[in-house]
């Protein structure tokens, strides 16, 4: 099982692996509609790094120098995708939201995905800029009756998100802190998040 380490010890970041227990149900490198289709992984060789600290080979590069991800699961019938993230989310310097939107999200949306779940336990920091890409993403999903949910992001991250108005576009915090998600199957987990989002929408 993947090890989740204390962030005060960045020298062991390579021990943090993408969640792998859903791999029997979905793998992005074997999905022809995935932006990472055909990716080959050498699990004996560490090549990618964040600020000089190597990360596990299973994480996917999508254009950011400090933020990596793994598409954990996609269901094209129910139109949802679950994405796990690691590193520093830096819109101020790297424009990470642009890379995420253009290189990953738009490919998934073209394949019919309109509900996105972002797993953020391994996000170490956030540096904001303007919110235009978040607004664009939100409007495009809303047009298709979709939504964006962020699960288990740390409080200091979501505090920064609020400063940059990202809470207008992404659902997070409160009941979306679901620490036991690894005990669930991917569709059961989605159903839980979907119910929570629908309750929030009903109250607005």
pLDDT at 14: 80
Distance CA 82, CA 119 (A): 7
Residue 11 clears pLDDT 80, i.e. is over it? no
Average pLDDT over residues 46-55: 88
In the three-class reduction of DSSP (H, G, I as helix; E, B as strand; rest coil), residue 41 is classed as coil
CATH number of 10-203: 3.30.750.24
pLDDT at 51: 87
pLDDT at 201: 83
Residue 7 clears pLDDT 70, i.e. is over it? no
Maximal C-alpha separation, the chain = 49
For the stretch 142-159, pLDDT in tens is 999 999 999 999 999 999
Distance CA 132, CA 2 (A): 35
Average pLDDT over residues 104-127: 97
For the stretch 69-113, pLDDT in tens is 999 999 999 999 999 999 999 999 999 999 999 999 999 999 999
Q: What is the mean pLDDT of the chain?
A: 93
Question: For the chain, which residues make up each domain, given as ranges?
Answer: 10-203
């Amino acid at each position: 099982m993947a090890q989740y380490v204390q962030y005060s010890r960045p020298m062991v970041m390579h021990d943090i692996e993408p969640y792998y227990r859903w791999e029997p149900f979905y793998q992005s490198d074997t999905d022809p509609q995935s932006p990472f289709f055909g990716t080959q992984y050498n699990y004996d060789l560490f090549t990618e790094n964040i600020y000089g600290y190597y990360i596990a080979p299973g994480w996917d590069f999508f254009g950011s120098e400090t933020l990596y991800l793994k598409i954990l699961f996609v269901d094209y019938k129910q139109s949802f995708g679950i994405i796990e993230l690691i590193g520093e989310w830096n819109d101020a310097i790297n424009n990470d939201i642009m890379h995420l939107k253009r290189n990953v999200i738009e490919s998934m949306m073209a394949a019919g995905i309109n509900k996105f779940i972002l797993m953020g336990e391994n996000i170490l920091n956030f540096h904001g800029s303007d919110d235009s890409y978040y607004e664009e993403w939100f409007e495009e999903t809303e047009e298709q009756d979709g939504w964006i949910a962020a699960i288990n992001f740390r409080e200091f991250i979501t505090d920064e998100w609020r400063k940059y108005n990202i809470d207008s576009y992404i659902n997070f915090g409160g009941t979306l802190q679901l620490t036991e998600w690894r005990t669930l199957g991917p569709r059961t987990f989605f159903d839980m998040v979907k119910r929570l989002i629908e309750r929030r929408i009903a109250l607005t």
